[in-house]
Chains A and B, each alone.
Chain A
Amino acid sequence: MKKLMTLLLMALMVTGLQAQSKSDLPNVTLKDLNGKDVNISQLSNNGKPIVLTFWATWCGPCIKEHNALNDVYQDWQDETGVKIFAVSIDDSRSTAKVKPMVEGKGWDFDILLDVNSDLKRAMNVSNPPHTFLFDGSGKLVYQHTGYIEGGEDELYEEILKIAKKKK
């Protein structure tokens, strides 16, 4: 039994190494602020980088991170065309508050609602904030958990790397 498992594991690893994953974006469907279904695996930004962030209205560092990202979002978009999708893991207690809060704070991101943590589980997020960066073909390039003042700079360096590669 053990031998079979070892061999299968080796096989998986070898194929894993060879595997050119089409996309790292999971097949999970969430709703946007207008109630429209959005399938994460089909997110596209015309070949430009995609950033997926996880946040909640009750998560202080998440709000800080998103305020900081919002301040530089326009500049980032002008330079690299990156698109940020902010996934709220607020459950039904706060769903109704997400839209007024996002608009009230003047955030420009596309907001998605993960009311029962389906995407959070699929992407192995333990504690928000957690940010993922995907290149134009949906491949995961960088991720970081937690937010430290100035952390968005490291994220931007990674975005520039992909944007430059395209050119």
Chain B
Amino acid sequence: MRKHILFTLALALTFGFKASAQSFLENSQVNGSFQTDAQYYMLDKGIDITDLYDKKVGINGFGKVNYTNGNFSAGIRFEAFLPEMNGFRSELKGAGLANFFATYDNGFIGMTVGDIYDQFGSGLVFRTYEEWSLGMDNALRGARVVIRPTKGVTLKGLYGRQRFYWAPYMERDFYDDDIRGIVRGVDGEWDLNQSIPALNDSKFRMSLGGSFVSKKQYDMSIFYYIPENVGAAAGRLNLGYGNWSFSTEYAYKINDPSAINNFIYKEGQALMASLSYSQKGFGAVLQVKRVDNMSFKSMYTGKQNDLDINFIPPINYTHTHSLPSMYTYSTQPNGEMAAQFQVNYTIPKGTALGGKYGTKLALNVSQVNDIVRDSIMVNDQKVINKSGTLGYSSKFFAIDKHRFFRDINFEIDKKISKDWHLTAQYINLYYDIETIEGHAGAPVVQANIGFLDVTYKINKKQSLRLELQGLWENKVKAGYEYEESEKKDYQKRGDWAAALLEYTISPHWSFSIADKWNYGNPVEEYRDHYFTGTISYIHEATRIMLSAGRQSEGVVCVGGVCRTVPASSGVSLTVSTSF
């Protein structure tokens, strides 16, 4: 009987109600994508890979399908790590349904159930997102409501529990070891230009916003009283007038003792501000940031990037070439004072300096220092950062002498002729590797880095590109005196040279060979060549890339969130497509 009903229903769907169903189904769309990244690892005595620890292959893959119909959309995503590739957290190993959601949004009110990705303001108190190349996904599984009562006003409320690799979303039972908490938040934003008709097309722009987020966690500590409800609030303001823009956001979090801040009970604060001026051919921006104890996770014992509720953006330049991006800065949630200044200028075409096509110049200076931490009195004793106390006190505008990072770079991008294009950049880097990467005792990286990128168009379809890079450390180079016992800390230190040659045939093919050579490493046996060859084929939305060779130890960073990649030797294959 049931079978008959089901069959009839399906038939009806297909033919019977075609007439009225037509308009409903007219808007139906199904789309999706999938990607597989696979690596085959090989032993390589030359770079000290003498044991694969039984892991010959790493495969990361996902497939997702979205269904949209007018105001309604839904999707699911399946992920598999069989096992995860090197450099990804071993908690990812496994496969399953990683994400699903359903949304209805008619412009006035919107509701989402399932896995939610959202950001309040700059993310200082709330940001959930996923970044496949980092193996990062802190989606909030629960519900979200969005209300837009009038034009220019948006109110949001959300509630749920964050994803923690493959841990199930069960209700906590007293004997359950999973002590992830619940996150809830509200956000309101008011864009004056859209809601006040007089300001609709005004040169003056203004918008304000405020958020409040709190987590409810479970106190399972043996030593300390952990607050079960921890709240954080933020306020933001954006102003603009003609070519000028100013934006700022301030966040405050109450006591949140956690593994990251050594269980201190200090409140947390963050302030970000930026001022920019832009007109055709010229843009300049100045950004400043202060962060003090703003790590905010939904589990107080979380480590690394696990269960982050918020996102503290780093404000320094992101390098794209391999040598300058060897030492990428990652945010220090416990405290930092940062500033960045950038200028972009195009020397107009037709001028003496600009040449026929104009020349693009860019200058960027960014620096991060520690905040000043003063000791506090506890039981008539001066202590600093002691667990169970307020930790320290920090003057809001004081900058500590300890510098974490400084990057000064200058770039020229010039189209020399119809067939020749040149980009060159010089970087001066100061990188406190001990603090940023946790390499105890390693000397600071002070280096001059440069690259030259030349493209030659052979004809309409074919082109050739050559990339030459160099990294020259000031102190740690060949001849540097190091402690034999700390040899392993010098694995990527010293001077480097890199070259890449790429040949492309538009629109599908790209071939390249590259070498990175650590010729100036103080430790002789680490002066290795890292050869790689790559072939990639692209057809519309499908991409297949095959590469073989050696990969040096490094860091993959997206938005200040980093993943270390260990050295490896072998073959990698990436296949991705969307439909």
Contacts and interface: CB of A to CB of B under 8 A. Distances in A.
Direct contact of A and B (CB under 8 A): yes
B86 interface: no
A78 interface: no
Interface stretch (B87-95, B281-289, B491-499): B281-289
A128 B331 CA distance: 24
A26 B30 CA distance: 12
B318 A145 contact: no
Interface residues of B, number: 102
B191 A8 contact: no
Contacts of A124: 31-33, 64, 66, 578-579
B35 A126 contact: yes
Contact of B346 (A94, A104, A123): A104
25 contacts: A4-B10, A19-B29, A24-B29, A26-B68, A35-B191, A37-B191, A57-B318, A58-B319, A92-B121, A92-B123, A92-B127, A93-B559, A99-B283, A100-B283, A100-B344, A103-B281, A106-B280, A123-B578, A124-B64, A130-B541, A143-B540, A145-B542, A145-B578, A150-B457, A150-B461
Contact of B313 (A92, A118, A126, A130): A92
Contacts of B319: 58
Interface in B527-579: 536, 538-543, 559-560, 576, 578-579
Contacts of A37: 191, 194
Nearest to B238: A35
A72 interface: no
Interface in A110-167: 115-118, 121-127, 130, 142-146, 148-151, 153-154
Interface string A93-107: 111110111111110
B240 A34 contact: yes
Interface string B300-323: 000000000001011100111100
A21 B245 CA distance: 40
Contacts of B415: 67, 71
Nearest to B2: A4
Contacts of B507: 144, 148, 150-151, 153-154
B438 to A, nearest CB: 22
Interface stretch (A9-17, A44-52, A79-87): A9-17
Nearest to A93: B313
The 7 A-B residue pairs with the shortest CB-CB distance, nearest first, are A104-B344, A100-B283, A7-B10, A104-B283, A93-B313, A150-B506, A58-B318
A104 B343 CA distance: 8
B5 to A, nearest CB: 10
A16 to B, nearest CB: 6
B381 interface: no
A69 B419 CA distance: 16
Nearest to A100: B283
Contacts of A95: 122
Interface in B471-524: 504-510
A8 B25 CA distance: 13
Contact of A117 (B70, B129, B358): B129
B221 interface: no
Contacts of B105: 27
Contacts of B446: none
B124 to A, nearest CB: 8
Interface residues of A, number: 66
Given A22-B27, A122-B73, 8 more contacts: A7-B10, A27-B71, A99-B283, A100-B283, A115-B119, A144-B538, A144-B540, A150-B461
Nearest to B29: A21
Interface in B106-147: 117-119, 121-123, 127, 129-130, 132
B504 A148 contact: yes
Q: Which of A102, A124, A144, A150 has the most CB of B within 10 A?
A: A124
A101 B457 CA distance: 26
Interface in B202-237: 205, 207
A101 B283 contact: yes
A157 to B, nearest CB: 10
B426 interface: no
B7 interface: yes
B28 A104 contact: no
A43 interface: no
B75 to A, nearest CB: 8
A7 B277 contact: no
Contacts of A101: 283, 342, 344, 362
Contacts of A118: 117
B30 A16 contact: yes
Contacts of B559: 91, 93
B28 A16 contact: yes
B247 interface: yes
B346 A106 contact: yes
A110 to B, nearest CB: 14
Nearest to B206: A35
A91 B280 contact: no
B386 interface: no
A59 B10 contact: no
A116 B197 CA distance: 29
A122 B285 contact: no
Contacts of A104: 278, 281-284, 343-346, 360, 362
Given A60-B321, A144-B507, A150-B463, A15 B6 contact: no
Nearest to A108: B280
B14 A96 contact: no
Contacts of A126: 33, 35, 132, 576, 578
Contacts of A57: 318
A16 B506 CA distance: 33
Contacts of A99: 245, 276, 278, 283, 285
B26 A148 contact: no
Contacts of A144: 507, 538-541
B240 A19 contact: no
**Which of A101, A127, A144, A149 has the most chain B CB within a 10 Å cutoff?**
A149
A145 B283 contact: no
A19 B35 contact: no
Contacts of A4: 6, 10
A96 B11 CA distance: 54
